[in-house]
C-alpha cells in the first residue's frame, strides 16, 4: 500500500498555442491577423529507423469567412531557429506532408547526424492583403522510433517509488485485437495482493504523439477493506524501448483520491 503524499507530474508533448506575433511591416500595423489552425496530426514523429522515407502529415485550416494570400511553413532544427521555407500553401483547408529527408536537406542537416530525441519545429507565417504574421501554432516534431505493438506489450515490471504508491512487481500488457493502440494492463494491484475482479485497466496510446491516457476505471472491488480501487492516469510511451512513464490518480472508495502517483513500466528481459 502507498505512502500518502501529494505529487503532480505534468507531461508536455506537442504545444499548439493560438496567438500571433506580427512581423515587421514597413507600412505599420494594419487590419487584423488571421490565425490558422493545425489539426489531424498523424503520424506525429519522424521515424529514426527510416529517416529517408519518414514523414509527418497534418491539416492547416483558416477561420471561416477569412482570406489569406498564402501560408509559408518554416522549419527549424533543435533550438537553432533557422526558419527556412519548407512549403507554401495557397488554398485551404490544406493537407500537408513533410518528409524528414526533405526537411533535413533544406536545413542543411545530414540524416546520419539526426538522433532519437532531436526536435524539428514547424511554424506558420500567414500573409493577407493587410499584414504578415507568424502564428505561434507551432508543431514540435520529435525524432523517435515507429510504433511496434510487439514492443509495447508483453511482460513488464512496474515500479512506483516509496514516495508514490510504493508498489513493485510484474504486470502484463496486451493489445486489443482490433486496436493495437488500446492496451490492457493486468496485475498492477495483484502485486499488492488484491483480486482484479473489475479489471483490466485500459490505456490508450495516441498514435501521433505517443501520449498515453487512462480513463478512470475500478479494477478491484475490495481494496484492503476500503471498497473499490480505481485508476485514472496520463503519461507517455517511449517507442524505442517500450517504456511507459505514467502518473496515476488512485481512488479508494471510502477514503478518496490520492493524486500524482508516478509509475514506470519497463519490459522484462
Residue 82 has pLDDT above 50, yes or no: yes
What is the pLDDT, as a whole number, of residue 11? 31
pLDDT single digits (tens) 213-238: 999 999 999 999 999 999 999 999 99
Question: 158 with 188: CB under 8 angstroms?
Answer: yes
Residues near 71 by beta carbon (within 8 Å), at least 6 away in sequence: 36, 60, 62, 88, 89, 90, 92, 94, 124, 125, 126, 127
33 and 133 both lie in a single domain: yes
pTM of the model: 0.73
Same domain, 30 and 112: yes
Query: Do both 97 and 153 map to the same domain?
Result: no
Q: Is residue 4 part of a domain?
A: no
| Domain assignment of residue 12, yes or no | no
pLDDT of residue 172: 98
| Mean local confidence (pLDDT), 56-85 | 95
Does any domain span residue 13?
A: no
| In-domain check, residue 5 | no
pLDDT band at 26 (very low <50, low <70, confident <90, very high): very low
d(CA 11, CA 237): 11
Residue-number span of the structural domain to which 263 is assigned = 149-267
Domain count, the chain: 2
Residue 1 confidence (pLDDT) = 56
**Averaged pLDDT, 69-79:** 96
φ, ψ for residue 152 (rounded to 5)?
Answer: -85, -5
Asked if 121 and 17 touch (Cβ cutoff 8 Å), the reply is: no
Shared domain check, 155 and 101: no
Query: Percentage of the chain surpassing pLDDT 70?
Result: 88
Instruction: Kindly state whether residue 8 falls inside one of the protein's structural domains.
Output: no
Nearest to 55, CA basis, from 143, 133, 138, 136? 143
Higher pLDDT, 2 or 30: 2
Give the CATH number of the domain where residue 46 resides: 2.60.40.1940
C-alpha cell of residue 134: 507568424
Residue at a domain's end among 94, 127, 144: 144
Give the long-range contacts of residues 174-177, CB within 8 A, separation 24 or more.
175/149
Q: Both 123 and 203 in a single domain?
A: no
Residues of the chain with pLDDT > 90, as a percent, come to 82
Please check whether residues 160 and 48 belong to one and the same domain.
Answer: no
pLDDT digits (tens, 9 = 90+) for 101-139: 999 999 999 999 999 989 999 999 999 987 999 987 789
pLDDT at residue number 2: 54
Amino acid at each position: 500500500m502507498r505512502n500518502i503524499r501529494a505529487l503532480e507530474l505534468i507531461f508536455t508533448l506537442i504545444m499548439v498555442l493560438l496567438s500571433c506575433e506580427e512581423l515587421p511591416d514597413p507600412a505599420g500595423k494594419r487590419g487584423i491577423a488571421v490565425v490558422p489552425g493545425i489539426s489531424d496530426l498523424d503520424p506525429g514523429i519522424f521515424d529514426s529507423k527510416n529517416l529517408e522515407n519518414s514523414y509527418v502529415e497534418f491539416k492547416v485550416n483558416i477561420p471561416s469567412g477569412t482570406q489569406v494570400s498564402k501560408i509559408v511553413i518554416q522549419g527549424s532544427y533543435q533550438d537553432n531557429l533557422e526558419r527556412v521555407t519548407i512549403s507554401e500553401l495557397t488554398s485551404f483547408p490544406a493537407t500537408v506532408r513533410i518528409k524528414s529527408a526533405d526537411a533535413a536537406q533544406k536545413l542543411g542537416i545530414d540524416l546520419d547526424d539526426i538522433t532519437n530525441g532531436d526536435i524539428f519545429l514547424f511554424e506558420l507565417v500567414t500573409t493577407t492583403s493587410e499584414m504578415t504574421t507568424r502564428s505561434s501554432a507551432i508543431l514540435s516534431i520529435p525524432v523517435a522510433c515507429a510504433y511496434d505493438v510487439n514492443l509495447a506489450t508483453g511482460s513488464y515490471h512496474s515500479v512506483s517509488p516509496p514516495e508514490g504508491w510504493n508498489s513493485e512487481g510484474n504486470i502484463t500488457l496486451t493489445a486489443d485485437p482490433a486496436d493495437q493502440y488500446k492496451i490492457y494492463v493486468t496485475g498492477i494491484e495483484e502485486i499488492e495482493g488484491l483480486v482484479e475482479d473489475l479489471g483490466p485497466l485500459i490505456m490508450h496510446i495516441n498514435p501521433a504523439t505517443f501520449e498515453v491516457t487512462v480513463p478512470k476505471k475500478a479494477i478491484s472491488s475490495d481494496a484492503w477493506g476500503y471498497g473499490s480501487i480505481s485508476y485514472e492516469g496520463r503519461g507517455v510511451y517511449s517507442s524505442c524501448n517500450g517504456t511507459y512513464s505514467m502518473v496515476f490518480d488512485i481512488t479508494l472508495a471510502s477514503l478518496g483520491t490520492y493524486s500524482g502517483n508516478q509509475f514506470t513500466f519497463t519490459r522484462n528481459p
